[in-house]
Structure 1
Amino acid sequence: MSTSTPDERLRRWRLVLGGAAAEGTGRTLSGTDAAMDAALAALYDSADGGGERGGGLGGSAPSVARWLGDIRGYFPRSVVRVLQRDAIDRLGLAALLLEPETLEAVEPDVHLVGTLLSLSEALPETTRETARAVVRKVVADLEARLASRTRAAVTGALDRSARISRPRHRDIDWDRTLRANLRHYLPEHRTVVPERLIGHGRASRAVRKKVVLCVDQSASMAASVVYASVFGAVLASLRTVATRLVVFDTSVVDLTEVLDDPVDVLFGTRLGGGTDINRALAYCQSRITRPADTVVVLVSDLYEGGIRDEMLRRVAAMRASGVGFVALLALSDEGAPAHDREHAAALAALGVPAFACTPDLFPEVMAAALEGRPLPMPDPV
C-alpha cells in the first residue's frame, strides 16, 4: 500500500473541503486540480450548506453539456454516474435532459434510464430518438453482462431430466460422472476411470415452464423495472420458457407482446403513481393455466395501496395450486430498499421469502425457482 506525502494529503483535503474561507488548509489549486474543483463546486458548493448555491451550472443546456463533458474527463465512470445522479437531484438537471445537447453528453447508466422513463411523456420529438439511443446503449450493455449467464442457468435447470446410463458423448453430465467415479481415481496417471457414465436425456423443444414477471412501476422501483425488462427479454428468447411481463401501479399493463425488444418494453412503462399489488396479482392469476409449471416473480417494495388481506389470500391460493412464487423487494445493485416489513413477514409466513436480489444473482434465483429447490438468497430482511 502506497503512502501519500503531507502535501498530497493536504491537496486531497482541499478538494474534499471545497476551499471555503474557514476550511483551514490554506492550499491553493492550479491546473487540472483547479478545474476539478470548479466542476465539483458547480454541483456542491453552497453559501451555508443548505442555502443558495455558490456555484451552479446555469440554466442552459450548453453549460450543462460542458459540465458533463468536464466531469467525464476528470473522474472515472463510477464517480461520473454519482455526480450525474446528484446533479439530477440537486440542480434540476432532469428538465435539461429534455434537450438533445445535454442528453448526448451524459454517461448512460441504469439510473439515467429511470429518469428518462419518468420524463418520457414530456420528451419533445427532437429528444425522443436521442433518449431511445441512450436507453438502447444501456440495455445492450446489460444484455452483454447478463444474458449468457441467465440462459445457461435457466436452460441447465430445465434440461436436467431422468439420467441415462449410456448417454451419447455430447449428453454426458461430466460433473456428476466425475463425482460418481472418484473412487476410481488413478494417482499415477492423474486421471479418473469412469466405470459409470451419467447423462441427460435430450431436452424437449416444447414449452416446459411458464414465468410471470410482475413488476411494480412506482417511481422508487425504476432500476428494478430496467433490469426486469432485460431479463424478461432474455427469458422470452428461450423456446422452453413461456414468459409474461406485467407492470403495474394502480393499473395493470401486459407488455408481453413487445418482449422481443426491451427498449420498447421500457418506453411502455409509466414510472410513478400508486401501487395496487392485489390487482396485478389478480391479472397474473387469471393467466395461469398450468400452476405446477408456473413461477410468478413479484418485484415490489410491497407498499400495497390495494386490499392487503386479499393480496395475501391470492398469494396463498396460488401457492396451494402449485405455483412457484418469488418476491423480490428490488432487482438492482442498490441493496435492500425501504419496504413494507409487515407485508414481507406475511409473505414469509406463506412460504414466500421476500428479499432484495442483485442482477448477478437473479439467474441462479430463477434456476432454483424453476427446479423447485431452495432459493440462493441473502440473510432474511
Structure 2
Amino acid sequence: MLTVNAFGAPSATEPLVPLTIERRPVGAEDVLIKIAYAGICHSDIHFARGEWGPISYPQVVGHEIVGEVVEAGANVTKFSVGDRVGVGCMVNSCRECANCLAGEEQYCLKGNIQTFGGIDPKDGNVTQGGYSTHVVVDQDFVLNVPESLDYAAVAPLLCAGITTYSPLRHWNAGPGKKVAVVGLGGLGHMAVKLAAAMGAEVTVLSQSLSKQEDGLRLGASHYYATSDPATFENLANEFDLIINTVSASIDINAYLSLLTLDGALVAVGAPAEPLGVQVFTLFGNRRTFAGSSIGGIRETQEMLDFCAEHGIVPETELIGADQINEAWERVLKSDVRYRFVIDTATLTGAGA
C-alpha cells in the first residue's frame, strides 16, 4: 500500500483538513499517477456534505484529475512512465453489459465505479478522489491529455467538459443549428465554448446580463436575460437544442416553448426538486425533454482531442490546498469564473 497526502472531509459538517490515505498496490493493469492538478466540481461539495445520502468518512473527493504516470503495471500497454494523463468521474465499470460493450461505460447497467465514494472492485475499499498527490487507476479508465492543452487549466475538462460535450455531440450541434445554453457557470461556459467550436450559433440564457461580456467573449452570438419575460416571447420556437446547466429549479415549460420542430432540451444540471413538465408543451413542435450524464472513455478522449484541436480549455482560478475551504464557500455563492483548480503540490503532511 502507498500512503499519500490528501485533503478531505472528516465529517459532513466539518471543514476539509489535510490527511493521509492509502492507495492500493499497482496491479498488472494499473498505472500510478502523480497528480499535478485537480478541479473542484459542485458535486464534490454535495457528496462530501452527505447531501446525496450517507457516506463513510474520511472522504477525499475530486474527479477532475490530471497528472503524470510514474509507474505502470506489467500488462499496461496504453501508457508509459512520463505520460501526461487524466482521470474523470469513473474508474471502472462491469465491462460486460450492453452499455459498457457499446463504449458507454457511464451508463453501466450495474453502475460504474465512481472516482470517489464508490467501492473499488480490485480491493473492496471506498474510492478516494483527486484532492491528493497520487492515485492508482486501471489503464482502461485513464485518458491521454494532449501536450498542447494548458496543464494547469485542463482538469475541469474531465467533468465540466465532457458533461457538456456529450449532449452537444449526441444531439448534433454544428453548423446550421441554433443552440441555447441555460446558465453561464462552470458547465455553461464550457457548453458555450464547445458549441461555438462545433460551428453552432450559440445563445446564452442567463438570469441577468451581468456576464454578457464574458458570454460573447467565450463564443456566444447572443445573450438574453431570463428575468425579462420578453425573452421568452421573442425567442419562442427558436432553438434546435437547449443545454440546461443550472441546478436550480426553473420553469421548464417556459424553456421547452423555445424549441423549434424536433428540438430537444437536455438537462445536465441536477435540481434537488422535481421539475413539473406539461405534456402538452412537448406535443407542440414534437419537442423532447432529455437528460445526459458524462461521456464514456472513448468519447472523453474524443473531447480532449477536440479541445486540443480548437485550443479550448476552461476558464480557471488556480488555488493552493489552504484555499480549498474558501473555494467551496465561493462555489456555493457562484463566486468563481469559472472553475477552481487545486495545485496538488501544495498538499502537505506525511506521505508520498
Task: Please indicate the TM-score interval, normalised by the length of the shorter structure.
Answer: 0.3 to 0.5
Greater C-alpha Rg: 1
Under a length normalisation based on structure 2, what TM-score does the superposition of the two structures give? Answer: 0.35
Under a length normalisation based on structure 1, what TM-score does the superposition of the two structures give? Answer: 0.33
